[in-house]
Structure 1
Amino acid sequence: MALIGYGLGRARALKSAGGDSRVLHSLPSFYGANVALSALVPALGLVLVWLIAQPLVINASISGDIPQSAIPESSTLSLVMSDVRRVADGLDLAVSQGVLSADAAKTLSADGTIRDTLGAVGVALGSDVTPEILSAAQTYRTMNAAGSWMLTALVLALAFGGFVFAMSRTKAEFRARNVVESGIRVLLVAAASIAILTTLGIVLSLIFNTIEFFKLYPASEFFTSLTWAPSFGGGSELGILPLLWGTLYISIIALLVAVPIGLFAAIYLSEYASPAVRGVAKPLIEILAGIPTIVYGLFALLTVGPLLLQVFGDEGLGWMQAGTAVMTAGLVMGVMLIPFVSSLSDDIINAVPQAMRDGSYGLGATKSETIRQVILPAALPGIVGAILLAASRAIGETMIVVLGAGAAARLSMNPFDAMTTVTAKIVSQLTGDADFASPEALVAFALGMTLFVITLGLNIFALYIVRKYREQYE
């Protein structure tokens, strides 16, 4: 409808001007764009709002009808609703694949065959489906289907209404350009707002679950205890300090690898390499940034770890007990961070004005002296910012440390010991059927919140350094 509206709006505007576009207030394309946007934007806005609101309304309606007796003692209402949605999705899948008819899905009884029926279409259920859950799932399907049909009707009606309204305003004197540009500005603001609101949603979700965790586990022990020993049977010790130490230790080793290599590579590419060499070398270095982190993790597990074990293990110096260690993860993570440091530093060094180089050469300085005394001091704030951004990337890495560093939460100065990090423990605490009413599962959100605050602080500090010490050149 929007595409058709663009053509018809443009043609109607020209017709109202007698075929002379000079009589029009705006270019003909603006009249077509006005009709297209009037048909498209309100309808898409309704779709977005509806897709967010419909699950909330349906969940609230169905969860209110589930009796308290249908919730097991070891479960919660949210987990029961998760089972309801899983059964409802399984019934939809069974109907779409022809395993069940639409009428059979509506009248299905909660006997022992329903798990087998849903398992045949790839939906695995952890327990038998009770009559209350099946009834709620069938109601969920009915309400979801009714909502989808209602959405379709309203979207078509709204698009058609916008189409007709915009066509009725399409005349030679109509200020189409002003309306279209205002509409585009609203869309741009909405796009920026989505990014901001997404960040806000992430922070709020972490905050609320972190508050729930600290209601069950004292914050003083979380931040000061030197022991990490979760136990889903009770009696857990959930001190974050061993995890923070492992995170920072691995990150420091990674930066000791990445910063010198990446910075030297950036200096070579920007100051010494010919355009032909730079055109080949820079993309090859940046390929490292595109390698999935799971591949780096496998490289650490299968190649770097055994290699270090041969040198520092029992057959060598005797410092290393297994291939998984802080040094293994740190070296591989450092390789992964090289393109971050190299590319950012290269761009920053290239931003130093050529006039400063020419002035240094004119005073008799050599190339190396110019780099040390002119270029690097001028680019230093940006390079420091690049290093801090790489550090925040290292702190948030997961797969490399899961496969390369081990799983032991300990405080040790030996880089050849196995340790673990905050991100690795977030994965382990939320793997499997986590009970979000227990501190052993909710601790993952407290760990995530702590990590978020640390990386946010590093990013803010990097921006502060760059802005405070940035050289201003004429």
Structure 2
Amino acid sequence: MPFFWLALIVLGLGGLGYVTGRKRALRSAGGDARKLHSLPIYYGSDVAMFTVTPAFAIAALWLLVQPMWIESRVVSMIPDTAISADSTRGLVMSDVRRLADGIDVAVAIGAMTNAEATDLVAGESGIRARLGAVGVALGSDVRPEVLRAAQSYRSLSRAGSIAMSVAVLLAALGGFALSLSRIHADYRARNVVERGILYLLIFASSIAIMTTLGIILSMLFESRNFFSQYPAMEFFFGSTWAPNFRGDSDLAILPLLWGTMYISLIALVVAVPIGLFAAIYMSEYATPRIRSIAKPLIEILAGIPTIVYGLFALVTVGPMLRDYFAQPMGLGESSSSVMTAGLVMGIMLIPFVSSLSDDIINAVPQSMRDGSFGLGATKSETIRQVVIPAALPGIVGAILLAASRAIGETMIVVLGAGAAAKLSLNPFEAMTTVTVKIVSQLTGDTDFAAPETLVAFALGLSLFVITLGLNVLALYIVRKYREQYE
């Protein structure tokens, strides 16, 4: 059964449980809700909660465990002879998954009958007789070993789906019956429901922590594999980035890190002053009419796709900087440069700084402004000495958000700054960033176990540590200045 329909059935049982539990509670009190320990809504919510929650918990756990269990079973079925010299077991498993989906496609388009599809493992001659039909349906050649594994993968997936549907429905019906059986006038339904909501809120708040932990662990494990094949000293302190999947690669992070910080610095130099001044004007000087027009216009910049910014950098900003600045000053001949990407990225970051800073400045209590005016300060002095220091923690947070956005940007760098990894102070030379190389190293038909591919995880982990350091620094600054007002 498709998961969508299974979820609808469980939700329908939950709705039925809500109505039934509410009616049963009122019936146990003789129709007088005042005799109930809790409001009728809590009794219905209790039945609905115990109907839906266990069912969805089992479904989530099943969907998480089943693919790993099936893959471990199928991997053991693939013989070593099925793995060529230029392939790996993981790549063969990718073919198995693709073929398992393709068998259904072959049935659907008539290349095979359903009976033939379920009888693919009937013998070597039968398999070879059907390889042509499946290969035509899938557009590729299929080996018998891979076809057997794909058929097992398909069968196990279907069996697991059926078993999950049965387990989920049994859990929903069991929770429905159990919760309904304990409904009576003295049952403390409100306490149970509120405790369940508390657990739900705890789980929701833990998702971000668990996701972050999972990301860190995944990067750590793959980075460990990388550093087992490539020296850490050369990665962190080398000065050349020259990956070569045939060997003799130079995989130093310094050129990429320099390009990332250089472009981000130029972007922040553009975005922070403009965005902060715009926020001060809109919150302290602009009339309501001007503010209602200016703020939405500025925020439109945040809704423009980054690929559009990249095209703007490639077609307009890059050639303009080359023709009017780089070439006349003898600093470069290319339209792709650090300055191009930095300027365009800075324009993109303006609404991040201005909108957040505007909301933060508006949140400063009016009493602080009135007190400053009462002491004889002018409007500009009040803004400079009272409003901005009071809003500084939030402004630092807005700048940090803009910095994180700049460090993680990819498309503008690809189209505006090029892909050259180098150490240079010339802002009119082409450079690249860590994120661009992460994408390039994981794109294409590459050996996932090679250090040239695994380096992407080491780059990602390094970028994560740098971002974490920026957060710690910002937190220190926020606490230092906030102490003046506590």
Q: TM-score w.r.t. structure 2 length?
A: 0.92
Name the SS for the 1:470 alignment partner.
helix
Partner in structure 2 of residue 169 of structure 1: 182
Name the SS for the 1:216 alignment partner.
coil
CA distance in structure 1 between the aligned counterparts of 2:110 and 2:297, rounded to whole angstroms: 50
CA distance in structure 1 between the aligned counterparts of 2:471 and 2:329, rounded to whole angstroms: 39
| Native 8 Å contact 1:389 1:462 kept in 2 | no
Pair 1:9–1:97, CA change in 2 (3 A): farther
CA distance in structure 2 between the aligned counterparts of 1:84 and 1:422, rounded to whole angstroms: 33
CA distance in structure 2 between the aligned counterparts of 1:27 and 1:96, rounded to whole angstroms: 54
Partner in structure 2 of residue 86 of structure 1: 98
Pair 1:472–1:212, CA change in 2 (3 A): same
1:405 corresponds to 2:417: yes
Bigger CA drift: 21-30 or 364-373? 364-373
CA distance in structure 2 between the aligned counterparts of 1:161 and 1:472, rounded to whole angstroms: 59
| Native 8 Å contact 2:448 2:454 kept in 1 | yes
1:198 corresponds to 2:211: yes
Percent identical among aligned pairs is: 67
CA RMSD of aligned residues (A): 1.7
The gaps in structure 1 that reach 5 residues or longer are 120-124
Q: How does 1:110-129 map to 2 (within 5 A)?
A: 110=128, 111-119=131-139, 128-129=141-142
Partner in structure 2 of residue 11 of structure 1: 23
Name the SS for the 1:456 alignment partner.
helix
Q: TM-score w.r.t. structure 1 length?
A: 0.94
1:377 corresponds to 2:389: yes
Deviation at 1:320, TM superposition (A): 3.1
| Native 8 Å contact 1:382 1:470 kept in 2 | no
| Native 8 Å contact 2:241 2:253 kept in 1 | yes
Partner in structure 1 of residue 47 of structure 2: 35
1:159 corresponds to 2:166: no
| Native 8 Å contact 1:389 1:459 kept in 2 | no
Pair 1:250–1:32, CA change in 2 (3 A): same
Deviation at 1:382, TM superposition (A): 2.9
Partner in structure 2 of residue 290 of structure 1: 303
| Native 8 Å contact 2:103 2:134 kept in 1 | no
The one-character-per-residue Cα deviations of 1:412-463 (angstroms, maximum 9, x if unpaired) are 1110100011111111111101211111111111111111111111122222
Letter in 2 for 1:397: E
Deviation at 1:99, TM superposition (A): 5.1
Deviation at 1:46, TM superposition (A): 0.4
Pair 1:466–1:93, CA change in 2 (3 A): farther
Partner in structure 2 of residue 320 of structure 1: 332
Deviation at 1:307, TM superposition (A): 2.1
CA distance in structure 2 between the aligned counterparts of 1:471 and 1:100, rounded to whole angstroms: 74
Letter in 1 for 2:382: T
| Native 8 Å contact 1:392 1:459 kept in 2 | no
| Native 8 Å contact 2:275 2:351 kept in 1 | yes
Partner in structure 1 of residue 75 of structure 2: 63
Pair 1:35–1:96, CA change in 2 (3 A): farther
| Native 8 Å contact 1:389 1:458 kept in 2 | no
Pair 1:59–1:305, CA change in 2 (3 A): same
Deviation at 1:473, TM superposition (A): 5.2
The gaps in structure 2 that reach 5 residues or longer are 1-12, 121-126
Name the SS for the 2:228 alignment partner.
helix
The one-character-per-residue Cα deviations of 1:49-97 (angstroms, maximum 9, x if unpaired) are 0000100110111111221222222222222111111111222344455
Letter in 2 for 1:150: A
Letter in 2 for 1:142: S
CA distance in structure 2 between the aligned counterparts of 1:22 and 1:94, rounded to whole angstroms: 64
Letter in 1 for 2:226: F
Letter in 1 for 2:397: G
